[in-house]
Structure 1
Amino acid sequence: MTETQDFEQLNGIALAYMGDAIYEVYIRRHLIQAGLTKPTKLHHKATMYVSAKAQAALIDLMLEQEKLSETEQDYFRRGRNAKSYTHAKNTSVVTYRISTGFEALFGYLYLSGQTERVGELANWCIEQVEAGRLPNER
Structure 2
Amino acid sequence: MIAETVCSAVSAAGLGIAAVTAYRRRFLTAARIAAYSLVPIGLVMTGVVEWLADTAFSPVAWAGFAVLGVSWALFMTTRAVERRRGGTRKERKEARAAARRDAVAPAASAPSLGPGDRQATRPAAKPTAAPRGDEDFSDIEAILKKHGI
Q: TM-score, normalised by structure 2?
A: 0.20
The structure that has the greater radius of gyration is 2
Instruction: Name which structure has the greater RCO, CA cutoff 8 Å, separation 6+.
Output: 1
